[in-house]
Each structure stands twice: as C-alpha cells, then as structure tokens.
Amino acid sequence: MNDIGRLPLEGPQLRTLLLTDLVDSTGLVERLGDTPASELFREHDRLVLKLQQEWRGRLIDRSDGLLLLFERPIDGLGFALDYTRGLRELGKARELELQARAGLHVGEVLTWKNSDAAVLVGAKPLEVEGLAKPMAARLMTLARPGQILLSAVAESLTHRAARELGERGQNLLWKSYGRWRFKGVPEAQEIYEVGEVGIAPLRSPSSIAKAWRDTPLWRRPAALAVELLLVAGLGIGAWFLTKPQPAIAFAERDWVVVGDLRNLTGEKVLDDSLSQAFRISLEQSRYVNVLSDMKARDTLARMQRKPGTLLDRSVASEIALRDGVRAVILPTVSEVGGRVRVSAEVIDPRTQTTVYAETADGVGAGTALDSIDTVTAKLRGKLGEALASIEKDSEPLPQVTTRNLDALRAYALGQKSFARSRYKEAQDFYARATKIDPEFALAYIGLLRAHNAINDLSGGVPYLRTALKLRESLPPRDQLYLEAWAAEVDDPARALEKWQLMANLYPDFFRASANVGYALHGRNRCSEGQSFAIRATSPKSEFSSLSWDLVGRLALCLEQYEKAEQAFRKAGAADGTSAALRLANTYASQRQFSFAEKAWPRNAGSGVPFDLVSIYLDQGRWKEARKEADGLKALAGNRLLRAREATYPLAVVHWLEGESEASLSLLNSIVDESLAAVPASPANSEAVDDMYLTLSAGLLAQRMGDTRLARRIMRALQERRQLLEVPPLGSLYVALKANDLRMAGKTDAAVSTLEATVDGSEPFQTHQALLEAYAGAAKNEKALNEAAWLTRNRGRAYSELGCSWCQQALNVADTTLAHLRTAELQASLGRTEKARQALAQFDRQWQTAGLPDHLRVRRSALLATFN
C-alpha cells in the first residue's frame, strides 16, 4: 500500500512490544499434514484471542509469529508467560513439543491507521514503526526455543510490577545475560530472561548475525592472540584464561541471604525441611557465609514487615542491602516431568536479577537432599570456592542431617522457634526430631543450646553426651562446636583454647568469637576479650545484642564507663533486657545512684540478680540490702548451685552488719554443700563455680578472724587439685593461702606468694589480700597503693564474673572500706591530714549515723588518733 492509502500519522507513543515466533512451524505442517495442522493452528488462534483479551493486548500482525502492543509492560509479560505455557499444553495433547521465541521491549513507536480501502485489499488495520520494533525483533530472533528475552527497560518495569501477578509473580526466575550488540543499534544493550520454574531454558543465547555479545577489545580474537603470547611468556596465562570467574564480585568470607524455599510440588513436608537442608548444606563452606534465619527475621522486623513475611526476591534483596550482604540465593523445588527438581538462583540484590542458576533432578522426594548437595556444590564453585575445599569441608546432607524428611521438618521448626526466643517450644520440636530419627546429631545439639539458653546447661548435658557419640556424622564446623561445648562442661581449663581454635578457623561464626570473649571475661583478661566481643557484634550476627552486652561488661571491667554505657544501650537496656541491669551497675560504679535506680529493670527476668544487694550496700542502705539478700535464695528455686551462690550475698550483709556468728554459719553451710557437690574427679563447669564459691566463703571467714574454714577448704582441695588449673581458681586459692600465712605471722611469705600471681588477671580479692599482707609486713606505702587500687577499680568490682557474680557484694563493699583502711594506714604513718581526707571520703559514702557498730568503733578509734 502507498501513502495515499494511509490516514494521518499519530505522534510518538511509549508502548510495550511483544514479538513471538513459533518454532519450526513449517516442519509442523509437514509432520502433521494439512488438516491436523490447520486444526492445531485454529486452536492456537483461539489461545491467542483469549490471551489477547485477558491481557489487554492489541494484535498488530500475525503469521508464524505475533506482534502485539500493550499499554503496560506487565500485561505484555503476562501474555508471554501464558502463551509459553499454553503452547506446552497444546503440544502435550498431541504429543508434540510446541515452543515459541519471544522478545519484549518498551520504547517509542509511531502508529498510523490504514484506510478502509487499503485494508480491503490486504493491508493491516494499524501500522507500527520505530526503533523499538527492530529491537523487539532482535530479542525474539536471539531467543532460544521457549525463551522470553527482555530489554533492560522492559526488565526493570516488569520486575517491579511482578507482584501484580500474585504468587506466580513471586516464583518467576530472572536472569541477566550481560551486554549485547544489535545490528543497526549504536549502543550495547543489556538483555534478560524471565520465565517459570521448569519451563524457562535459563541458558545464555548464542550469537547470531544480527546480535552478538558485547565482548571487550582485550577478549577479541586478535587481541587475545597477542595476550596469550605475553601471558604464556610469563608462564601463568593459561590458568588465568581458563579459570571460571564468578558473575558477581564475590570474595572469600562474603555473605549470602537464603530466601524462603519456593515449594511448587504441593508436598507440604518439603516446605521447612528442604529450606533448612539447603541452609545446612551451604553453611558447610568456609568460603561462603550464610546470614542466619534469626538475623534475617530481625532485619525484617526493623524493616517494619510483619512476622512471617515471605523472603522472596524483593524482600531478601532488601535485607541483603540493609545488612551489607553480597548476594541472595533463592532455592526452589518443583516437579517437572515426574521428576523432583531442586534449583537455586544467585541474585544480585542491587538489581534483583538472576546472575546464574543451578538445577539437579531426582526421582521422588527422597532424592531431594542429594539434589541439594549437587546444587550447593555447583553454587559454591561459581561463587569462587575451590573444588578441593568443597570436597574437604562437605559431608553429604543425609549424613549430617537425616534421611527422614519429617525429622528434618521438626528440626527446622525448632530452629524457627529458637530464633524467636521460644526456647521451650524449640525443645519440643528438637525432641520430636530425635524421636523420629534417634541418630539425628544436629537435633541433639539443638536441645543442648535450648537448655543453655534458659540457664539450664546441666539439663542439656545428656543431649551433649548423645551428640558426642554421633559426632562423626557432623560437618567439620559442627564437630568443633560440639567439642568446644564438651570442654565447657567437662574440661573448663581447655574451653578457651577450643573456642579460640574455632574462632580462628571460622572468623565469621560469631558464636565462637563471643564465647572466646566470655571465657576471657571469666579469666579477668578483659582487654584481650574486647576484640573478640566486638567481632561478635557484627550486624550479620543474630546474637549481636548479646555481644554488645559482653562488650559492655568488658568495658566496665576496664573502667571504661562511657564505652560500657553505650554498649549496654546497644544491647537493648532501654527495652528492659538484662543489659539494663548492667547499665545500672555502670552508673553505680560511678556512684550515680539515682541514674542506677532509673536504669534498673522493673522485671529482672528469670535469673537471680545479686546486683541490687551490692548497690544497696554501696550506699550504706543496710536494711534494704538485707531484705534483698533474704529473698535471693527463693529466686533460685530448685537449682541447687544457684541457691548456694544466692546465700553468699546474705553472708556478706551479715558480716557488714557485725553479725559474725550468723555469717560464719551461712559460710560453713555453703562450704559443706559445695564440697559435697564437687566430686574428686576431673573438673567440670559446675565444679568450677562451686569451688570459686567455696574459696570466696573461706576468704570472707578469714576477714572475721576464722582460720578453720579456710584450712578445711585447703585440705579438701588436695583431693581436687585439678580444679586449681582452671583460671582464676588458682589465683583465688593463693589469696586464701596467703591470708592463712599472714594470720599465722608469716607476712613475708604471704607477700611473696601473692606478688607472684599479679599479672592483671588476678581476682579482685587478691588486692584485698595484698593490702593486708603489705600492712602486716610494715610495707605501708605498698599497702596504700593496694587500697587506692581497690577504690579506683569499682567497675571491676561490679563486673568480675567469679561464681556468676556471687562475690560482687564483697568486692563492692571493699571499694568503700578501702577508704577507711587508707585513713588508718595514713594515721599510723603520722599523716593526720591525709588520714582526715580519706576518712571524709569514707563518710561521704556511708553515713556515720547509720554505720554498723563494729565500723563505728573503728571510726571512733581512728578519730582518737587525731587528737
């Protein structure tokens, strides 16, 4: 038709163009014959008409292929997806493979209507021209059979609107094939594929005459020949030229977010079980770090999304961007041709496009675990991990988990409950998993962790024993984790070594780093512990708030009050977590008691906090301290060790009030029970706590002039000497022994014994013992230095771990009593003015009117020396 047959030209319009081509349509006619082929094409036309109406498309041209215009890109994509699926169904009914190539582009087009006369003689009602048309044609020609290719602008607009397709849109696969050159188009174009699981080819197109990959100059044949000669001359070219590189810049120890598994099989048992299996398989890598499900859900909450929000492509990518994660992995399980297919896409979270994908097929749901191993091994290789490392660090999933999918699902539900701090519920799920499969080692570790989370480590010990018997079925990292816990329970002297080994081998396994920090805190090596604790505060750690609490404890131990306060606030002190209790201690350490009272949590939780006794004693509020101490044992309930520890602060209160007989009675009871509980066998964690408590009882008894209890303890330790190898029990024992030497008149021996233990990690009470040893040896200047140390290290007094802080009240009281002792020492040296100053400091802390009688007597005796 010529221009005379055209109606006026419309202005440029932005439209979505879809071009399709039915693969081998001529061959179909030859194979089927004219009549069957015509019936097939009539059905094809009915399908096109139906979809055209459903997706609001305008059919411009039709022959072996289609040209359609759409107002909205998502409508063009919906048509293409349904057309691809519809062809499969038409072909299946005739035992044929019907496929089409499709190209989708968004751009400006010019349209005009042909005149009625022109249409009558065969012209199309509407003509479409413009650069967008050949662009869509190039995409269609480049596509493989069954493939839908999109331009960058079409991908951006359709990807953003994919949610309009409902659940189907969430399950789409998106993949980038990089930059390509199209004949007649000056600029290189980014192209993408979109499709459904089990339908989309997800393979890079092959270059054709009118479209080819945009290869950099240095990778073109002529340039490569020169480069090969140069690199070969250096002897290393071949390796670099053949080594496959990751499609995104993934570095060793980078992180991935694993999205929720898309289960398209209808088998509900696969929902949680395969998602957990995929995570476990990927976590065996030392190269790839997997953001924990707990941490992902925490970030989801910060995004103000509802709990249970599906971690699909969009949501998981947002989590990755917020937490600085390199890639998203979306696993899928589907049924294709009677086979169970496991597939996984690696997504670039910045563009939400598929960088690459891997699949593995099996027969029946039981093969899914083997398929997951295959897929994750391929993914790890593409992410840059060496094959040798993959083989070395990986065990088959059925070996490290269980072949029973019901048991695996119960374990997965336990992990979810644990992540939500529902520890009792988690225990029930883990127990269910072990009942279904008694050989499921990871589930026993889950039970151990769940018991420990509610401060019931002894209740978790039986599960630790079972897991140890099954340790050979665990991957290397979990074996180390189990060994470290075994040391924590059975061989505390070696626990630090085990946690350090694990933290060094797996620097991004934050639980190991945190446990190194806890172990160093328990040994009073607070400065060393800080670096490990800070590592564990990584935003990628699911327990980062707990690690901030640890950072605060260590800072308080080092008198870094501002740093401690900041850390406790990051640990959620304002929300009433246990960090609020430590924040109160931080204020009390600085004698800011009004702030301490405001910070104190209204509900201190299910633990047995001794701290309020210490804070009351610190202010000289004797009656309130007594009342608080009286109630501690009831809080301990049936936990015998905690009940013994809860008795100690009351003994301290009795001593400070001058009730020595009542205090000694409690101390003897503590020692009797603790020694009966500590067997004459290798040390374990509870034995360490009991012995620390026992030694603390002996030290307090010595303060009242009693030597019998301390000597009984030292005799008992002859049968339990292995306990003295556990820091800081050895140092505390030396303090007890040195006090005994001093009280026996052997002051020089007491001094030399104590000095040998001072290295910065010694217990707080070592300095109290040194003060009296120096004073007894007439080394008053050194005694004054020790008294000054006691008054300065108030953060250490509050934070020293010991027997779960049971000795805190004694330490805190000594920071004030040291002022009175300083005044007495200065007076003995004839320094009346300095003695008065020290006494004034003592009086500011504990008001004279409320002093217990024995302290009032000491004060009066000191005042008498001033006249």
My answer on whether 655 and 803 are in the same domain is yes
Three-state DSSP at 572 gives coil
Q: Which two tokens stand for residue 801?
A: 């771990």
Could you tell me what percentage of the chain is helix, strand and coil, using 3-state DSSP and rounding each to the nearest 5? 60, 10, 25
Distances (CA, A) of 853 to 29, 638, 655, 822, 848: 113, 36, 11, 20, 10
**Does the residue 418 lie in any domain?**
yes
H or E stretch covering 15: strand 13-22
**Does the residue 579 lie in any domain?**
no
**Does the residue 227 lie in any domain?**
no
Q: Which two tokens stand for residue 293?
A: 């499900």
Q: Report which of 672, 677, 685, 629 is spatially closest to residue 652, judged by C-alpha positions.
A: 629
My answer on whether 457 and 346 are in the same domain is no
pTM for the model stands at 0.70
pLDDT confidence of residue 183 = 78
Say which CATH number the domain at 168 has.
3.30.70.1230
pLDDT confidence of residue 376 = 84
**Does the residue 345 lie in any domain?**
yes
My answer on whether 369 and 412 are in the same domain is no
My answer on whether 360 and 266 are in the same domain is yes
My answer on whether 428 and 285 are in the same domain is no
**Does the residue 402 lie in any domain?**
no
Determine the Cα–Cα distance for residues 687 and 650; give it in Å rounded to an integer. 22
Taking only the tens place, the pLDDT of each residue in 610-650 is 899 999 999 999 999 999 999 887 777 766 888 899 999 99
My answer on whether 276 and 136 are in the same domain is no
My answer on whether 413 and 372 are in the same domain is no
State how many domains the chain has. Answer: 4
pLDDT confidence of residue 18 = 94
Say which CATH number the domain at 466 has.
1.25.40.10
Burial bucket for residue 712 (CB in 10 Å: 0-12, 13-18, 19+): middle
Which of 357, 376, 395 is a domain's end point? 376
pLDDT confidence of residue 120 = 65
Which of 528, 550, 572 is a domain's end point? 572
Phi, psi angle pair for 121, to nearest 5°? -100, 15
My answer on whether 309 and 434 are in the same domain is no
Residues of the chain where predicted confidence (pLDDT) is lower than 70: 1-11, 115, 117-123, 215-247, 249, 337, 387-391, 393, 395, 400, 419-421, 455, 603-608, 638-639, 680-683
Backbone torsion region of residue 58, taken as left when φ is above 0, otherwise alpha when ψ lies between -120 and 50, otherwise beta:
beta
pLDDT confidence of residue 598 = 93
My answer on whether 550 and 665 are in the same domain is no
Q: Is 692:729 a contact under the CB 8 Å cutoff? A: yes
**Does the residue 394 lie in any domain?**
no
My answer on whether 429 and 561 are in the same domain is yes
Q: Which two tokens stand for residue 808?
A: 């805190």
Q: Report which of 377, 405, 402 is spatially closest to residue 391, judged by C-alpha positions.
A: 377
**Does the residue 710 lie in any domain?**
yes
Determine the Cα–Cα distance for residues 831 and 825; give it in Å rounded to an integer. 9
**Does the residue 600 lie in any domain?**
no
My answer on whether 528 and 623 are in the same domain is no
Q: DSSP letters of 516-558?
A: HHHHHHHTT-HHHHHHHHHHTT-TT-TTHHHHHHHHHHHHHHT
In the chain, the largest separation of any two C-alpha atoms, in whole Å, equals 131
Domain that holds residue 15: 3-202
Q: Report which of 424, 459, 423, 466 is spatially closest to residue 443, judged by C-alpha positions.
A: 466
Say which CATH number the domain at 372 has.
3.40.50.10610
pLDDT confidence of residue 242 = 46
My answer on whether 291 and 433 are in the same domain is no
